[in-house]
Amino acid sequence: MKTLNNNPKPYAWVPSLYLGEALPFSAVMLISVIMFKELGLSDGQITLYTGWLGLPWVIKPIWSPLIDNLKTKRWWIVSMQFLMGIALALVAFTLPTAFWLQGSLAIFMLIAFASATHDISADGFYIIGLPEKDQELYVGVRNTFYRIGMVIGQGGLVLLAGFLQERMKETGALDFSLFTFHFSLQSVVASWMVVFVIIGVLMFLLGLYHAFILPRVETSLHDRFNLMEQMQEFVQTLKVFITKPHIISALCFILLFRLPEGLLTKIVPLFLTRSTAEGGLGMSDVDFGFIYGTLGVIGLLLGGIIGGWVVSKWGLKKCLWPLVLCITLPDIVYVYLSYFPTDSLWLVGTCVCIEQIGYGLGFAAYTLYLVTFSRGERSTAVFSICTAGQYLGGVMIPGMVSGLISENIGYQSFFWLVMAFCLVTFTVTAFVKIENPK
Quick one: pLDDT band at residue 416, thresholds 50, 70, 90? Answer: very high
| Nearest in space to 19 (alpha carbons), one of 89, 84, 90, 104 | 84
Whole-angstrom distance, CA of residue 109 vs CA of residue 233: 27
pLDDT at 176: 45
Q: Give pTM, 2 decimals.
A: 0.84
pLDDT at 350: 94
Higher pLDDT, 62 or 42: 42
Quick one: pLDDT band at residue 147, thresholds 50, 70, 90? Answer: confident
Contact 272, 138 (CB under 8 A): no
Query: Of the CATH numbers 3.40.50.2300, 3.40.50.1480, 1.20.1250.20, 1.10.443.10, which one belongs to the domain with range 227-433?
Result: 1.20.1250.20
| Nearest in space to 385 (alpha carbons), one of 256, 161, 183, 234 | 234
Whole-angstrom distance, CA of residue 105 vs CA of residue 307: 36
The predicted model gives 302-309 an average pLDDT of 85
* Residue 270, Cβ density class (10 Å: 0-12 exposed, 13-18 middle, ≥19 buried): buried
| pLDDT digits 0-9 by tens, 157-185 | 888 888 888 877 766 555 444 444 444 44
Which residues, including other chains, have CB under 8 Å from residue 389's CB and lie 6 or more apart?
251, 254, 255
Residue ranges of the chain assigned to CATH 1.20.1250.20: 1-225, 227-433
Identity of residue 111: I
Three-state secondary structure of the chain:
CCCCCCCCCHHHCHHHHHHHHHHHHHHHHHHHHHHHHHCCCCHHHHHHHHHHCCHHHHHHHHHHHHHHHCCCHHHHHHHHHHHHHHHHHHHHHHCCCCCHHHHHHHHHHHHHHHHHHHHHHHHHHHHHHCCHHHHHHHHHHHHHHHHHHHHHHHHHHHHHHHHHHHHHHHHCCCCCCCCCCCHHHHHHHHHHHHHHHHHHHHHHHHHHHHHHHCCCCCCCCCCCCCHHHHHHHHHHHHHHHHCCCCHHHHHHHHHHCCHHHHHHHHHHHHHHHCCHHHCCCCCCHHHHHHHHHHHHHHHHHHHHHHHHHHHHHHCHHHHHHHHHHHHHHHHHHHHHHHHCCCCCHHHHHHHHHHHHHHHHHHHHHHHHHHHHHHCCCCHHHHHHHHHHHHHHHHHHHHHHHHHHHHHHHHHHHHHHHHHHHHHHHHHHHHHCCCCCCC
Whole-angstrom distance, CA of residue 250 vs CA of residue 431: 8
User: φ and ψ at 181, to 5 degrees?
Assistant: -135, 160
Identity of residue 335: V
| pLDDT digits 0-9 by tens, 384-393 | 888 888 889 8
CATH of domain 1-225: 1.20.1250.20
pLDDT exceeds cutoff 70 at 136: no
Quick one: pLDDT band at residue 60, thresholds 50, 70, 90? Answer: confident
pLDDT at 269: 93
Sign of the C-alpha dihedral, residues 350, 351, 352, 358? positive
Whole-angstrom distance, CA of residue 176 vs CA of residue 155: 25
pLDDT at 6: 53
Sign of the C-alpha dihedral, residues 237, 240, 242, 246? negative
| pLDDT digits 0-9 by tens, 82-130 | 999 999 999 999 998 889 999 999 999 999 999 999 988 888 887 778 7
| Nearest in space to 128 (alpha carbons), one of 23, 237, 10 | 10
